[in-house]
Structure 1
Amino acid sequence: MAEDVFKALADPTRRLILDELADRDGQSLFEICARLTTKHGLGLSRQAISQHLAVLESAGLVVPRRQGRYKFHDLNTEPLTHAVTRWLKPPDASEKTP
């Protein structure tokens, strides 16, 4: 699963999508497209953004949620935490200086 997270993070457009969801969670595809166009000058199609969202969803970084006819996207940072803490170890007590 960690390789899915790193694959998802490898693309700069996907990182921008995560930035936008971190800024304002629960956006629709239309809102994400509009923010990427206005704030970052990206002129990608809705289909292209949808494909990026699918990669982020498969990595667990974005969780879709349906509300009526609309689909909203929420940021899930749990996979990031797991990927990073995998290599972080607490300092050994004997290594601490008094």
Structure 2
Amino acid sequence: MALAPEHLDAVFAALADPSRRAILAKLAEDGSDLPVTALAAAFPISQPAVSRHLKV
């Protein structure tokens, strides 16, 4: 399945942020049902920042 260039741009832009990649790795490792508070405790960023990263 090939993605259109504009979709690839969005994917790469989302993955460009190191915090977002770390959150994604944590979710893949520990399970996608972790609450935002658990994710915020695992990283040196605030709960609202984690929520913004998840929204992307």
Kindly report structure 1 stretches of 4+ aligned residues shifted beyond 6 Å.
none
The alignment status of 1:4 with 2:49, answered yes or no, reads no
The alignment status of 1:30 with 2:10, answered yes or no, reads no
Higher strand share: 1
Matches of 2:28 and 2:19, distance apart in 1: 14
TM (normalized to structure 1)?
0.47
* RMSD, aligned CA: 1.0
TM (normalized to structure 2)?
0.76
What's the % identity of the aligned pairs?
A: 41
Where do 5+ consecutive residues of structure 1 fail to align?
37-41, 56-98
One-letter amino acid of the structure 2 residue matched with residue 2 of structure 1: L
The alignment status of 1:21 with 2:27, answered yes or no, reads yes
Higher helix share: 2
Of structures 1 and 2, the larger Rg is shown by 1
Matches of 2:52 and 2:30, distance apart in 1: 20
